[in-house]
Each structure stands twice: as structure tokens, then as C-alpha cells.
């Protein structure tokens, strides 16, 4: 064992086996583990090093076993039998290995889940990587806080069935529902079920960050009891597929002049372009040219072809002019400043806006003022 003994001195090994105190043996264990982890070992030397590790794992002193667990918790050189022995040890020894060791198989982790109790289950839930088999077992067997932790772990893989089971078991748990909602990726079936189970704040997060069918998104938005909770205008500005979204709105008879006006007031020009194109039956690229590049008559022509009321045209004209007259500069709050400017232009330049629309726009101005006040504070 020439290479190993060059790294692992006889004094270190003698101290490990015969050290008078746990502190001395723990220090020797730490040195030996670091050298084993860093040395380039032949197959024979690796087997001999593993026997040294087994001696450490059998030491009567917890301090020695903990030195082994902490020093080699992420090392692939830790023998699986030693890792599993440490996993059954006291928590100060077991938890570092359970939390990080790459040598555990799914079968090993399943056994720890079955017999280890909530503390060890929590350590597994937070591991840097988990298979869908292991997450499924945790969802089936672990308590609420552990299930919330594993659902919050974006490095843990889940089957659709396991996520559905988490919602079944903990339908009333705010921590589990939030953990599922904030996962980076969710299956469509889970998203569409989850959105009916959560409150307003999580619902908006889901609408912003997870895929929903256009029909389901529209159903949620249109069915909202309060406009302030989920605003169709806000969704119009966030949608990743404005063409499909406006088509669904049109079929549902929700692509109204008022909606287009409100979207324009918020600077959601892409949505307005697609909305006009849908209503007019004109390709988007031609609609874009008529709105932006065809002079004063282009907007009027596409507006009339879309069948929008003449009384609102001055407001649309003012909105497009305001849009062209402003440029985003990337500063914090720029979107809010732009919207505030657009809303003020609408309210001061046109008498064609209805009382309901004026109230809506004034309400939006109040909200923007509140946003600015909070940002300034």
C-alpha cells in the first residue's frame, strides 16, 4: 500500500486504533479521511482504505464516527456498507451522510424512509438530487413538513402521480400547496388542479409562471369575482401566445373594445395588434404596419375594419400616439411610469371614454400611485 501509506502515515493509523481519548482518535480520523479522499489509490489500496474506514465506523466514540461522516459526506469513496451503517447511527453522525452521500441507491434511501423517521426523511427530502421513485415514497409516507420540503426541492424529480398524491394528502396545507406552486416546472394537469386550491397570491403566481391551456386561463380570469384579483388586462400583457389568447377571447365574446382600450392604456401593444388583427381578419404583419407605419389613416382603417365603435377612436389614437412618444429606458418602475403616462393621456385627451372605463382607468392610476409610494418608501 505504498501510495496510501505515503499519504496515511503509520502514526495516523496507530492513533486511530490506539488513541487514548476520543478527541485524539477523532483528529486522526479526520486526517485519514481527508487523505483517503484526496489520494490516488490503486484497487488494492482502495480496498485497504475501505477497511480503515470500517474501523472508524465501528469506533465506540461518537466523535470519531462523526468525523468520518462529516469529512466523507460527499465522497464517492465511502463504501456503501459504511454509509448505510452511518445512516442508522445517531443523528449527529447519520444526517450529514443521509443529506449528501452519493453512494446511496434508491433502495437504500427507500429503507431509510421506511425506518428512519421524520428527521432522516427530511434530510433525504433536501438532498441535491432525488429520483421520482424516492420522491414518490416520501409523498406516500412522510409527514406534511417533509412533503413540503421535497416539493420545494427543484432538484427532486416527480411523477405526475406523486404531485397529485401530494395535493390529495395535503389539500389544506398552505406550505405544501405553496411548495408545489413554486416549483420551476409543473405538469399541466397539476397546474390546472392546483389553481383551484390556492388563494389569490398563489393563483397569480401560477398564471404568471406555469402553463395553462388557453381555455382554462380564460375560464379562471373571466370567472374571477373581483377584477382586482385577476385582471384580464394584466393577463393580456403576460400571455406568451397572444395570437391564441385573442382567438380564444374572440370565440368567448370577450375581445371587446373596452378590453382593447384598457390593454392599450397599459402599454400592451402586442396584444392590441393581435386583437385588431383577429377582429379585422387581417394578418398580424399587415395590422402592425397599419397601426405603426401607415400614417394617420392606417390606424383608422384597421380600427374601422375591426368593427370598433367610432366614439372610442380618439382614445385609441391618443393611446397609440402616447405609445410612440415614449421609450422604455430600463429603469426600475419604468413600466409603471409608462402606464401612468398612458392613463393620464387617455383621461385628459378624449371625451369618448365611458364612465365605466374612466372609473377603471382612475382606479388603475390610484394603484400605480400606491406602487410608487411603496417603492419610494
Report residue 130's pLDDT band, with 50, 70 and 90 as the boundaries.
Answer: very high
Inter-residue contact 29 to 57 (CB < 8 Å): no
**Residues 24-53: what's their mean pLDDT?**
80
**Residues 192-205: what's their mean pLDDT?**
82
Q: Is 204 exposed, middle or buried (0-12, 13-18, 19+ CB in 10 A)?
A: middle
Distances (CA, A) of 173 to 110, 119, 166, 366: 25, 20, 10, 35
pLDDT tens-digit profile of 133-185? 999 999 999 999 999 999 999 999 999 999 999 999 999 999 999 999 999 99
So what's the pLDDT on residue 204? 74
pLDDT tens-digit profile of 273-302? 999 999 999 999 999 999 987 677 899 999
Average pLDDT in the chain: 80
267's torsion region: left (phi>0), alpha (psi -120 to 50) or beta? left
- Give the residue, 283 or 249, on which the prediction is more confident: 283
- Compute the half-sphere exposure of residue 161: CA atoms within 13 Å on the CB side of its CA: 5
- Give the residue, 59 or 2, on which the prediction is more confident: 59
Cα-Cα end-to-end distance for the chain: 68
Question: At residue 269, does pLDDT exceed 80?
Answer: yes
So what's the pLDDT on residue 342? 65
- Give the residue, 182 or 215, on which the prediction is more confident: 182
So what's the pLDDT on residue 1? 40
Q: Which residues, 6 or more positions from 133, have their beta carbon under 8 angstroms from its beta carbon?
A: 106, 110
So what's the pLDDT on residue 221? 52
Inter-residue contact 30 to 22 (CB < 8 Å): no
Question: At residue 270, does pLDDT exceed 70?
Answer: yes
Report residue 305's pLDDT band, with 50, 70 and 90 as the boundaries.
Answer: very high
Dihedral, CA atoms, 212, 216, 221, 226, nearest 10 degrees?
-110
So what's the pLDDT on residue 128? 96
Give the percent of the chain with pLDDT over 90.
Answer: 39
So what's the pLDDT on residue 364? 53
Distance CA 154, CA 356 (A): 45
56-65, 77-86, 132-141: least confidently modelled range:
56-65
With H, G, I as helix, E, B as strand and everything else as coil, classify residue 82: helix
Question: At residue 218, does pLDDT exceed 90?
Answer: no
Question: At residue 3, does pLDDT exceed 80?
Answer: no
- Give the residue, 232 or 128, on which the prediction is more confident: 128
Inter-residue contact 333 to 370 (CB < 8 Å): no
So what's the pLDDT on residue 339? 65
Distance CA 192, CA 166 (A): 15
Inter-residue contact 124 to 98 (CB < 8 Å): yes
Q: Which residues is 156 bridged to in the sheet?
A: 130
Q: Locate cell 462529516: which residue?
A: 70
So what's the pLDDT on residue 28? 77
Question: At residue 323, does pLDDT exceed 90?
Answer: no
pLDDT tens-digit profile of 324-361? 877 655 566 666 666 666 666 666 655 555 555 555 55
So what's the pLDDT on residue 42? 77
pLDDT tens-digit profile of 199-213? 877 877 777 677 766
Report field, pTM of the whole predicted structure over 0.75: no
Q: Which residues of 155-193 are buried (b: 16+ CB within 10 A; e: fewer)?
A: ebebeeebbbbbbebbeebeebbbbbbbbeebbeebbbb
Of the candidates 284, 190, 193, which has an alpha carbon nearest to the alpha carbon of residue 244?
284
Q: Locate cell 399587415: which residue?
A: 286
Amino acid at each position: 500500500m505504498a501510495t496510501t501509506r505515503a499519504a496515511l502515515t503509520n502514526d495516523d493509523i496507530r492513533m486511530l486504533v490506539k488513541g487514548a481519548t476520543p478527541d485524539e482518535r477523532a483528529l486522526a480520523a479526520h486526517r485519514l479521511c481527508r487523505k483517503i479522499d484526496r489520494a490516488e489509490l490503486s484497487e488494492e489500496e482502495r480496498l485497504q482504505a475501505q477497511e480503515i474506514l470500517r474501523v472508524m465506523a465501528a469506533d465506540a466514540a461518537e466523535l470519531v464516527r462523526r468525523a468520518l461522516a462529516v469529512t466523507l459526506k460527499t465522497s464517492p469513496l465511502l463504501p456503501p456498507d459504511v454509509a448505510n451503517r452511518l445512516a442508522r447511527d445517531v443523528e449527529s453522525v447519520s444526517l450529514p451522510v443521509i443529506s449528501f452521500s452519493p453512494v446511496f441507491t434508491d433502495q437504500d434511501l427507500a429503507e431509510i424512509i421506511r425506518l428512519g423517521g421524520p428527521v432522516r426523511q427530511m434530510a433525504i427530502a433536501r438532498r441535491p438530487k432525488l429520483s421520482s421513485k424516492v420522491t414518490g415514497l416520501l409523498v406516500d409516507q412522510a409527514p406534511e413538513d417533509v412533503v413540503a420540503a421535497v416539493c420545494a426541492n427543484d432538484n427532486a424529480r416527480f411523477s405526475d402521480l406523486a404531485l397529485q398524491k401530494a395535493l390529495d394528502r395535503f389539500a389544506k396545507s398552505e406550505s405544501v400547496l405553496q411548495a408545489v406552486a413554486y416549483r420551476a416546472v409543473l405538469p399541466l394537469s397539476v397546474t390546472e388542479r392546483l389553481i383551484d386550491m390556492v388563494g389569490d397570491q398563489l393563483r397569480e403566481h401560477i398564471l404568471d409562471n406555469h402553463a395553462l391551456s388557453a381555455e382554462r386561463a380564460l375560464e379562471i380570469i373571466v370567472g374571477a369575482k373581483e377584477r382586482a384579483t385577476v385582471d384580464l388586462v394584466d393577463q393580456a400583457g403576460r400571455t406568451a401566445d397572444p395570437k391564441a389568447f385573442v382567438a380564444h377571447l374572440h370565440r368567448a365574446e370577450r375581445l371587446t373594445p373596452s378590453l382593447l382600450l384598457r390593454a392599450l392604456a397599459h402599454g400592451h401593444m402586442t396584444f392590441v395588434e393581435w386583437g385588431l388583427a383577429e377582429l379585422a381578419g387581417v394578418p398580424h404583419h399587415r395590422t402592425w404596419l397599419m397601426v405603426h407605419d401607415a400614417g394617420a389613416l392606417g390606424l383608422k382603417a384597421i380600427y374601422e375594419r375591426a368593427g370598433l365603435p367610432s366614439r372610442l377612436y380618439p382614445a385609441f389614437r391618443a393611446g397609440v400616439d402616447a405609445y410612440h412618444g415614449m421609450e422604455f429606458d430600463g429603469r426600475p418602475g419604468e413600466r409603471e411610469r409608462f402606464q401612468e403616462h398612458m392613463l393620464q393621456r387617455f383621461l385628459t385627451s378624449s371625451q369618448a371614454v365611458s364612465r365605466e372605463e374612466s372609473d377603471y382607468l382612475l382606479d388603475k392610476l390610484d394603484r400605480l400611485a400606491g406602487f410608487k409610494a411603496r417603492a419610494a418608501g
